[in-house]
Amino acid sequence: MRISTSYQFDSVSKRIQEAQQRYLDAQQRVMTGKRVVTVSDDPFGSSVILNARRMQSQVEQFGTNLRSAKDYLGTSEQAFEQINTLTQRAYELTVSAANSTTSPDARANMAREISSIQERLIQLGNSQGIAQQYVFAGQSSTTPPFTLSGTTLNFQGDANDVRVEVGPSELMKVNSTVGSMITTLYQRLQETKVRMESGDLSSLSNISLQDLKNSQDALRLERGQTGIQLQRIQALEAHHARQKEDLTKRISDVEDVDMGEAIMQLKLNETVYQAALQVGAMNDRLSLLDYIRG
Amino acid sequence: MPGSFHGIDLASRALRSFQRAIDVSGQNVANVNTRGYSRQAVDFAATDPVSFFSTNRQFLGTGVGITSVNRIRDMLLQGRQHQVTASLHQFLTSSGSLREVESVYNEPGPEGISNALDQFFNSWSGLASAPTDPAARMQVRTKAQTLIDRMKTAYRSLQDLKTQSQTEVQSTIGRINELATQVGELNSAIRAAKVQGASPNDLMDRRDAAISELSSLIQVNTAENSDGTMSVFASQFTLVDSFGAKSYPTSVNPATMEATDGTNTFSIRGGKLAGLLTGIVQSDQSMAQLDDMANQIRAQVNSLHRTGTNTPGTPPVAANLNFFAQNDPPALPMTGVMTLNLSNEVLSSPANIMTSVTGLAGDGGLALSISGLKNATMMGGKTLSNYHKENMAALGQQITYHQGARDTQTAIATQIENQQQAISGVSLDDEMANMLRFQRSYQAAARMLSIFDQVTEDLIGMVR
């Protein structure tokens, strides 16, 4: 082929430019660490990234939701634990009150302690979580569920479930429906107190002890439920953490540059660029003009 | 019958011819860097012989003359070059425009609409899990605002791109007309020169350059007429004929890729013009897709949100509050991205975000249903995020195709340009060699002249 002078120079400058472009591209890949910046860099890969990112943000949301589930269940658990201790104490008091050797003064003191246990029970029944919600109020969680009128404790909450989305279309019930349990317990404490004050020993040992035991059993059941839910949350959290890690890796696999390879490419392109420059410089030196005597 | 000075005449003709040949080489060297210049070459031919009589009739050569100064150019290759230039510039422009459309979306990064959409629906799940938490309520409002902002920003950028492309279409047509006028004027000059029997090489080069630029704007076909003029056609539209140039119609329909002058329509193929139209069509399509998404989001979220209530009762009474601003029937419904806004109620207080079906404060049932919209197939059998994702993938594929085509056309164009250069390009080495040859020939002719001069001198001296 006949080589024209402008072709000679044009092709050299074009090759240098191409080599430079490739060098810069490689440099950019190493510097940003990203292989896919726009959809057209890899349409299929982008689709994978978008899916993974979608799942990731969902998993993150479930993680946040778990926090409010933990808030509910943790607050309930703590309340149950304290109610259990209180009930245990009431039971012990009743045992000693039912003893005929106990003096009436001591019984009156015990009745007073039962009173303070009752007050504490109301407080615990109206336990609030971090978001200021009353955890035992069902869905009516903005108003205190337990109010005292006279000597009767009334439950003003509802029996509806509070549910939290903890996985794709997976709902977890996080509240305990303990309205009647607590009002019953209060009622039983009230009766026990009256019996202590009146010195009705046979009722104390025959009825009150059994009543308090029944309340304790009912409480244990609810507490067990709550414990199971809290364990499930722990398992879910571990699962979410794994899933998040997996998704992050999956995004990175598609989106990020393999550094080793990218640096190799950069080196290679640098060499090519240098070679192109060198050849270009040599090209200048060859011309018939140099061989003609002037 | 050759005369006594026949030799001197012959030598001087040779001197003159070589002188011209050196001039032509000089012209080639001078234009070594001129774009579109075709190297010129001198056609030598022996001049008509004279006859004389010896024992029989004989012919004696009279030397050399220049029959023409030709421009060396492959016209077939040139036609091919015009077609390739048109395709190359079409794909250069279209891939550029499509990439601009793509950059509007910020996908697949975390700054994209896709992510905003996911987070918006997820925030409803968060609110469902903590309906009494004011922070969760604020979160829903913030995420909704982010989604609206991202969609609107994308939409506005698309509008800008479209306007910009439309302006560019008009200026491209303006340039097409300028070039057509130029070709028309060069046609007249060339015809005038041809009538006098000359070969106006440089004018023809300039005309070729103009047509070459023309084909980077729109695909053209050319036909050379017998009078030396060149007719130029853009599909069915006659841009230039031997009578002059005609203005290309400025009314263009991107969707059909047609231009119309009111009575006839002409399809637009190739060149920057076609590339720009591809960009406009894509902008339109992308805007329509965003509009569809906005309409569905508004309609679906609102229709659930309106059933929500915050006052307990049996049966619960819906508050009929919109989440996104919407004209109540029977007024015309709002459409499109640009009217997607939070409703005044939600703007004035996050407490107006409904979470509840029963009206009880701790009920997140409605929020959960709204969050569930992320999995609802509302875009013709697709979920919102799948619809968006598929649109993005389609756009990405299209860009890949246009970039691939661009690269192919670049390679072909380079190859053809190289072939044309191999034929038409000036090589300094070549020209130097030619100049040496003509210089030597000139020297020889000069020596010839002095020999003839001596012979003549001897002849004159003989009779003294």
Q: How far does B115 lie from chain A, in Å, by closest CA?
A: 7
Residues of B in contact with A58 (CB under 8 A): 118, 122
Identity at B322, one-letter amino acid code: N
Q: Residue A285: pLDDT band by 50, 70, 90 thresholds? A: low
Q: Within an 8 Å CB–CB cutoff, is residue A54 touching chain B?
A: yes
C-alpha distances in angstroms, B169 versus A35, B100, B162? Answer: 34, 16, 10
- Closest to B24 measured CA to CA, from B191, B186, B199: B199
Q: Residue B377 has what DSSP assignment? A: B
**Which residues, 6 or more positions from A4, have their beta carbon under 8 angstroms from its beta carbon?**
B39, B421, B422, B424, B425, B426, B427
For residues A184 and A215, what is the distance between their CA atoms, to the nearest angstrom?
A: 8
pLDDT of residue B329: 61
Nearest to A138 among B126, B362, B403 (CB): B362
pLDDT of residue A4: 84
* Maximum CA extent, chain A: 140
Q: How many Cα atoms within 13 Å fall on the side-chain side of residue B132?
A: 26
pLDDT of residue B109: 82
Q: How far does A41 lie from chain B, in Å, by closest CA?
A: 8
pLDDT of residue B332: 64
For residues A275 and B1, what is the distance between their CA atoms, to the nearest angstrom?
A: 68
Nearest to A1 among B103, B403, B422 (CB): B422
Kindly report the average pLDDT of chain A as a whole number.
89
Residues of A in contact with B124 (CB under 8 A): none
Neighbours of B19 (CB within 10 A): 12
Residue A101 has pLDDT above 60, yes or no: yes
Residue A104, preceding peptide bond in cis (omega within 30° of 0): no
Residue A31 has pLDDT above 70, yes or no: yes
Q: Within an 8 Å CB–CB cutoff, is residue A77 touching chain B?
A: no
Contact A288 B429 (CB under 8 A): yes
pLDDT of residue A130: 86
Q: Within an 8 Å CB–CB cutoff, is residue A149 touching chain B?
A: no
B241 forms beta bridges with B244
pLDDT of residue B56: 86
Q: Which residue has the tokens 């075709």?
A: B38
Residue ranges in chain B whose pLDDT is less than 70: 1, 328-333, 464
Q: Is B197 left (phi over 0), alpha (psi -120 to 50) or beta?
A: left
Q: Residue A292: pLDDT band by 50, 70, 90 thresholds? A: confident
Q: Residue A245: pLDDT band by 50, 70, 90 thresholds? A: very high
pTM of the predicted protein model: 0.83
For residues B29 and B430, what is the distance between their CA atoms, to the nearest angstrom?
A: 10
Sheet strand arrangement including B251-253: B251-253, B258-260, B265-267
C-alpha distances in angstroms, B424 versus A6, A108, B31, B276, B434? Answer: 11, 122, 12, 32, 16
- Please compute the mean of the pLDDT values over residues A78-90 and round it to a whole number: 94
Q: What is the distance of C-alpha B193 from the center of its chain?
A: 34
Residue extents of the structural domains in chain B: 6-72+426-463, 90-170+252-408
Nearest to B108 among A50, A138, A289 (CB): A50
- Closest to A64 measured CA to CA, from A170, A168, A166, A171: A166
Q: Which of B91, B105, B121, B129 to mutate to test the interface with A (most CBs of A within 10 A)?
A: B129
Q: Within an 8 Å CB–CB cutoff, is residue B429 touching chain A?
A: yes
Residues of A in contact with B102 (CB under 8 A): 38-40
For residues A58 and A65, what is the distance between their CA atoms, to the nearest angstrom?
A: 10
ipTM score here? 0.80
Tokens of B122: 């997820």
Q: Which of residues 210-239 of B touch A (CB under 8 A)?
A: none
Q: Within an 8 Å CB–CB cutoff, is residue B362 touching chain A?
A: yes
pLDDT of residue A284: 66
Q: How far does B460 lie from chain A, in Å, by closest CA?
A: 40
Residues of B in contact with A63 (CB under 8 A): none
Contact B362 A40 (CB under 8 A): no
For residues A33 and A257, what is the distance between their CA atoms, to the nearest angstrom?
A: 5
Nearest to B360 among A47, A140, A163 (CB): A140
Q: Within an 8 Å CB–CB cutoff, is residue A51 touching chain B?
A: yes
**Which residues, 6 or more positions from B35, have their beta carbon under 8 angstroms from its beta carbon?**
B209
For residues B354 and B305, what is the distance between their CA atoms, to the nearest angstrom?
A: 6
Q: Which of residues 109-148 of A touch B (CB under 8 A)?
A: 131-133, 137-142
Out of A35-39, A144-148, B383-387, B438-442, which region has the weakest mean confidence (pLDDT)? A35-39
Q: Which of residues 84-113 of B touch A (CB under 8 A)?
A: 98-99, 102-103, 105, 107-110, 112
Contact A292, B436 (CB under 8 A): yes
pLDDT of residue B36: 82
Q: Residue A208 has what DSSP assignment? A: I
Contact A139 B361 (CB under 8 A): yes
For residues B49 and B445, what is the distance between their CA atoms, to the nearest angstrom?
A: 18
Contact A158, A149 (CB under 8 A): no
Within B306-383, residue ranges assigned H as helices are 344-348, 365-372
Q: Within an 8 Å CB–CB cutoff, is residue A248 touching chain B?
A: no
For residues B259 and A196, what is the distance between their CA atoms, to the nearest angstrom?
A: 103
pLDDT of residue B54: 82
pLDDT of residue B203: 92
For residues B289 and B215, what is the distance between their CA atoms, to the nearest angstrom?
A: 34
Contact B239, B232 (CB under 8 A): yes
Question: How many Cβ pairs within 8 Å bridge chains A and B?
Answer: 180
pLDDT of residue A6: 82
Supply the angle between the helices B75-103 and B384-424 in degrees, to the nearest 10: 150
